[in-house]
Every structure is written in C-alpha cells, then in structure tokens.
Chains A and B, each alone.
Chain A
Amino acid sequence: MRKSFLIAGVALIAMAGSAAGWVATRAVPDAPPAASFAVLDAEKNEVGRYVVPADKDIFAQPNADEIIYGKRLLADTARLLPDNVGAAMNCNSCHLLDGKIDAANGYINTVNFYPRVMPRAGKEVDLETRINGCFQRSMNGRPLDREGREMKAMIAYMEWLRQGVAKEHRVDIVNAGPVDESLIPDPDNGKAIYAQKCAACHGVNGEGMRDQFGDIIFPPLWGDESFNIGAGLARTYKAAQFVKWAMPPAMHLDGQLGQGGVLTDQEAVDVSEYFTHMPRPDFAPKVNDWPNGNKPKDARY
C-alpha cells in the first residue's frame, strides 16, 4: 500500500515537473526582430545596419525636449508656425510618418546629405537653406530664422533620426521610387483617376480635409492654400514618383502606412499632370532657379 502511494507520488511530481517545464519552454509569441536597412559607404558597400529608432527612445536623449519640439514642428507645421507657413501644408504632408519610411521623402539621410551643390540653386545649399526652401515653396510661406529655436529643433530631430550614421555613409533608402519619365501624360485620364482614387481624402475640388480645429488632415492639392509653383511636387514626374510609391495610404494590411503601389506608372503620371497643373500660387523668386541651365523637362517655368 505504502509503495503504491510512493509510486503515485513520484508520478505526480514527475507530471507536475514536466508540465512546468513545458510551460516554461513554450515561447511567448512576441514581435519579430526589428526590420533594418543597410548602411552603405560611397562605393555602396554595406558597412552596417540601420534600425529605425522608436520615438520613445527620444526621452533618453539629453536634448529630448528639443527633439520632441522639432518632431512636433515637422508634423504640425501650419498650426505651430502660422507666420511661416502660407499653405495648408505641414512638412509631414510629403515627408510621411515623420520621415521614417522608405520612398516617402524620409529624413533619415537628410543631415548627412547636406551641404551639397544642388542643380536648382546652382550652388552649394546647406540644410537650413534647404528647409527654408520648403517653407517658401511647398508651404508657400516665409523662411525661418536660420539660427532660431525652431530651425535648430527640426534639425535636432533629424540628427537623432540619423542614429550616428557617419557623414560619409548613407542608409539604403530612397526619397522616392522610380517612374518612367518617357510616358506622355493624359490629364483627362488623370482627372478620372483623381475622382476615383484621390477625392475621398483630398476633396472633390482638391480642397483637402480639415479637423474640428481647422487643422489639416489631408492637404489641399490645388488652389490658394496648396503648394506653389516652385515646389518640387508641382512637377509632373516628381509628383508621380510620390503618388506611385507613397500614395494613397491605408491600402494594404502591411507597411507602416499601408501606402502606395496602387497606380501604374502611366496612371501616376496622368493624375500628377492633372493635379499639379490646376491653379496654384505663383513663386516670384522662380527667376533665380536653374541659373546654369539643365532645367528638367517638367519644370513649370
């Protein structure tokens, strides 16, 4: 009798032990390892990996407040900088998801890219000048003080996003994907595509959509409150690259914004020809652009 109790006891303990072991070894499902991009040197050799940092890591930075302020300015530019923004546009209207994704005008390589000789300016342009170019063209407004708190904060955010990638290296992402520039645009087809695939957010008359406070949800694509004629996005093929690879968002079950990949090259060129050529503000200093020639074929002036 006592022996059978003993055997039963041992068996029970063994069963409990193996059950506990089974529970302990069973992996708790969690996120897959973080996706990363290659870091390339000038000869395009991979010299490391870049992982897009989580925003909550900003709290650990010594200049966290400055970075967060910069991040907010990029996202809510029109609301926070009304004296400098003339259009109903924010930086992040084009630089999607805080400049953190591929083929949507990311900020990841921005600090390392400048200063650089740019064909439109015909001379070396530094980052402050480039940012002010956006304010004057895409946001149809006035430049920021180059030494001001706002400019420094925006650059602090981009500097944090660089994650210490060396100046001579770059993360293997692109500003925009390719589009066949030999295609001839058909603006009538573009108008139909706009009504079908763009108007739900950007409005039947290109007026965009605003929230309860009057802030921009979806920016206007033409009219007085849109980007002016001097913006890169006013050019058909440049716009088409953005439209094809970054628009519309919320189309797929994967990708951070589920963005892009809806239109063919031809459709992207057609719809871009249509909306870029709708009425929009002029840009007086356009006379200074491309002083050395080589003007792209889709330049507006």
Chain B
Amino acid sequence: MRVLKLALLAGLSALAIGWGVAASTPYWFAPKQDRKVDIADPELIARGEYLARAGDCVACHTAPGGAPYAGGLGLQTPLGTIYATNITPDPETGIGSYDYGDFERAVRKGLRPDGVHLYPAMPFASYKVVSDADTEAMYAYFMSAVKPVAKQNQPTTIPWPASLRWPLAWWQLLFAQPRDFEAPQSDDPLVARGAYLVEGLAHCGACHTPRGLAYEEKALKEDGSGRFLSGSVLEGWYAKNLRNEDTGLVTWTEEELVTFLRTGRNKRTAAFGSMSDVVEHSLQYLGDDDLTAIARYLKSLPPRPGREQWRPKEDVTTAALRGGDFSAPGAMTYIEHCTACHRLDGKGAPEVYPALAGNSMVFADDPSSLIQVTLAGGRMPSTPGHSMAFTMPGFAHLSNADLAELMTFIRNGWGNHASAVTEADIARMRKEIAHKPVHYAPEAAQ
C-alpha cells in the first residue's frame, strides 16, 4: 500500500514538473522578440507577399472555396482533424492584434501569444531557418496587404486527453530546437539559396521527409543520413523521394525540374494531389532564379548511403501490347481503361498525359499515391503557361481485384519493377478516402 502511494506521488510530481516546464517555455525557450517593423513600407510588403507565396501559407490556411488566409482547411492526423487557423489581420478572430514579436514567435517558434503551443502541422520547425529580414517582410505583408476576414477558428476533433496542448512544449523541446540556417558546402551560390528555400519557407520536408513516431521529421536538413526528402506518406499521398537517386530525381534534368515546379508538368509527368496545390498556390509565382536554385539544390542531394540502386529492366510490355498480346494479368484491364491516354508504350502524351513508364511515382516503394490517384482521380495545377489543366478521372468503380491486378501490371510494365499491389491495399485506401476531413468554410455558405 505504501509503495502504491509513493508511486502515485512520484507520478503526480513528474506530471507537475512536466507541466511546469511546458508552461514556462515561453519565457526561456521561445522568448518574444522586441523589434519594430515598418508595415507600411511598400517594398517590404511586396517582398513579404513573394515570401508568403514561397512559404505557401495560403495552401493550408485557406479552405476550399473560402477566403484567402481565413483558415478552415482540415488536416488529418491519426488522432483527429486539425483545422488551419485564420491568419488574416482581423483583430478579433485573426492575427490583427499580433505585434511583430507575436508573429515571429508563431511562425518560427510555434507559440501563440496566449502561450498555447502550436501543433507541428504548422511547419515552424522548418521556418526556424527563415531569416529575420524575411520574417519581417512577411509580417508587413500580412498586416498591411491581406484582407481581414472575421471568421472563428474551428476546434480540432482530437479527443481529450490527447487534445491537451501543453505536452506539445515537450515536442518542441525535443524536435524543434533553435537553429540558424547553415549553407551547404558548395561554390555555387544557387545551391545555398536553394537549400535556404527548401529547408525553410518552402518546407518541402513537411511532406517529403519521413516522420518518426512523434510525427517529427527525421531530418530537417541534409545530414549525411540520407533521410532528408527521401519520401513519405501523408493523407494517403506518397510524397516522392526528391534525392538525386534512382527512385528520386536522378533521371530528371535541372531544366525538367524547373519546368515541373513552374507548371506542374513536363514531358515525363504531371503533378496531382497536394503537389498540384503547391504548384498552383506557391511555386508558379517564384522567380526563375529561385526555381533554378531549388532544382539545383535537390540535384545536389546524394543517394541514400548503403542502398542498392534501382535500375529499369528490359521493356517487353510495349512490344506485347502493340502486338496484341493482352494475356498478362492486368493487361486487358489496362487496355480497356488506361491506353486511351497513357498509351500502349506507357509514355502518355507529353505535357498532357503523364508517362507511366519510368515514372518513379509509379514504381515507388510505397504505392499510396498511385492507388489514391487511380481511385479518386487527380488534377494538374492551373498556370498561365498552359491554358488547359487536365485531370485523370477516378476509377473507384473498378473492383479491388481488378485495380490490384492493374496496378501491379503498371508497376511492373515497360521496364518498371516494384512490389505487387494487393486487394487489401485498395480497400485500405478506399477507407482513407471515405474518411477525409470535411473542409470547414462557413463564409462560403453565407
């Protein structure tokens, strides 16, 4: 009995200390900066707008059909849905009452003015490397040029006690330590600029770097382990490996990469899912120099160490299909539903229909994106460079058995090779798609 009492006491003390440390981080771990910013400076505002584009703030902080930056987009987590907040300068419901210190602390340190810790869905761990000058410019833009919208934030659906926010302080202590940007060793200034954008504002790692058990990105920068930007799954989309290796970007030229970032398509592939939004809301607005910098930096990331490199096998599919041999499992389903666009040679039509042959999204270790885009369809981003944004219709009307066989065929056709897709994989994705969060946009309904 005495032991039990002691254990209870120890547990309560640990909890109290844990809470105490968490509650005090605003004073020692994430102190508020005292700095004045001229929010009326038009040059600063313009630069801030460009940087806010680079940071793609609008993508998460805008609900479909909703006012820009007024929040409401739902993000799925295993525990529930988190809704992005209103970051328009409305003083009551948005960030209109923030001074620069409040803004800086939210963006780079993940802390609200009332001391509440932000969920790491906000990529403050990446934004930590954003310079003071860039943060100030964004503050000027948000305060002076974004239209204020009165819209209350939507509470998360995460149940108590997981909904308690103070334990997030411990997450920040463990995974979001203060750090400054360190340029990679390179003679090329564009590589350094690319690293600054990729690690920081563009927060590519939020989707493309695998996450650990605590939802932390396993690497926030290139650290020699090969984990940074090596591909990850989020909301049922596999954000592909961006390293300069086999299943990554090794076959892409810098020019192809720039074209893709600017337009969401190139001769070999097309963006869909979340990447389509990234191009539409963010990357298409970046200058050629910054897009080239991003591409050059990504091409500088070495292959993951100690991993066998993927090589295409011989293409026997093209000759078989052109010769009328549809006997391979899945081939007839491909002929029926896919050839009209993706063609017998799996090459699609440049800048219209993506190729399947040699497309690393297709033979990625993780087939999530292939499965989701096939079930639910996808749409290219709309950019000024192309008057038509093409879609792929969804094929949820095909059976799990047919889809599994079909995707296994595609993943292993035309020189591709990858693991089989199973009926259970398809069923799992159907569930995931059925349980996507309801995007909250009350002002759209009014």
Among the 9-residue stretches B28-36, B88-96, B384-392, the one with 4 or more Cβ atoms under 8 Å from chain A is: B384-392
Contacts of A249 in B (CB 8 A): 340-341
Of all chain B residues, which has the CB nearest A56?
A: B332
Q: Are B332 and A58 in contact (CB under 8 A)?
A: yes
Q: Are A55 and B341 in contact (CB under 8 A)?
A: no
Partner of A252, one of B339, B340, B393, B396: B393
Q: Are A253 and B352 in contact (CB under 8 A)?
A: no
Given A56-B332, A68-B324, check contact A29 B431 (CB 8 Å): yes
B446 to chain A minimum Cβ distance, whole angstroms, is: 26
Given A69-B324, A257-B340, A258-B377, check contact A213 B397 (CB 8 Å): no
Q: Are B427 and A197 in contact (CB under 8 A)?
A: no
Q: Are A30 and B427 in contact (CB under 8 A)?
A: yes
Among the 9-residue stretches A31-39, A124-132, A169-177, A275-283, the one with 4 or more Cβ atoms under 8 Å from chain B is: A31-39
A239 to chain B minimum Cβ distance, whole angstroms, is: 19
B197 to chain A minimum Cβ distance, whole angstroms, is: 30
Measured in the bound complex, the distance between the Cα atoms of B333 and A58 in whole Å is 11
Contacts of A97 in B (CB 8 A): 340
Q: Are B400 and A201 in contact (CB under 8 A)?
A: no
Contacts of A209 in B (CB 8 A): 349-350, 352
Measured in the bound complex, the distance between the Cα atoms of B388 and A217 in whole Å is 17
B131 to chain A minimum Cβ distance, whole angstroms, is: 40
Q: Are B427 and A28 in contact (CB under 8 A)?
A: yes
Q: Are B379 and A200 in contact (CB under 8 A)?
A: no
Measured in the bound complex, the distance between the Cα atoms of B345 and A31 in whole Å is 28
Given A28-B427, A29-B430, A54-B336, check contact A211 B345 (CB 8 Å): yes
Among A222-271, those with CB < 8 Å from B are: 248-258
B394 at the interface (CB under 8 A from A): yes
Measured in the bound complex, the distance between the Cα atoms of B84 and A271 in whole Å is 44
As a 0/1 sequence over residues 332 to 358 of chain B, the CB contacts with chain A under 8 angstroms (1 = contact) are: 110111011101010101111100000
Q: Are A250 and B387 in contact (CB under 8 A)?
A: no
Q: Are B376 and A75 in contact (CB under 8 A)?
A: no
Q: Are A32 and B397 in contact (CB under 8 A)?
A: yes
Given A29-B430, A35-B397, check contact A250 B390 (CB 8 Å): yes
Among A28-54, those with CB < 8 Å from B are: 28-32, 34-35, 54
Q: Are B430 and A250 in contact (CB under 8 A)?
A: no
Contacts of A30 in B (CB 8 A): 399-400, 427, 430
Measured in the bound complex, the distance between the Cα atoms of B216 and A98 in whole Å is 49
B326 at the interface (CB under 8 A from A): yes
A250 to chain B minimum Cβ distance, whole angstroms, is: 4
The 5 A-B pairs of least Cβ separation, nearest first, read A253-B377, A258-B393, A29-B430, A55-B336, A250-B390
Interface residues of A (CB under 8 A from B): 28-32, 34-35, 54-56, 58-59, 68-69, 72, 75, 92, 96-98, 195-197, 199-201, 209, 211-213, 217-218, 248-258
A34-B397, A250-B393 known; 4 new pairs, CB 8 Å cut-off, are A54-B336, A200-B351, A211-B347, A211-B349
Q: List 7 A-B contacts (CB under 8 A).
A: A30-B400, A31-B397, A56-B333, A199-B387, A201-B388, A250-B390, A257-B393
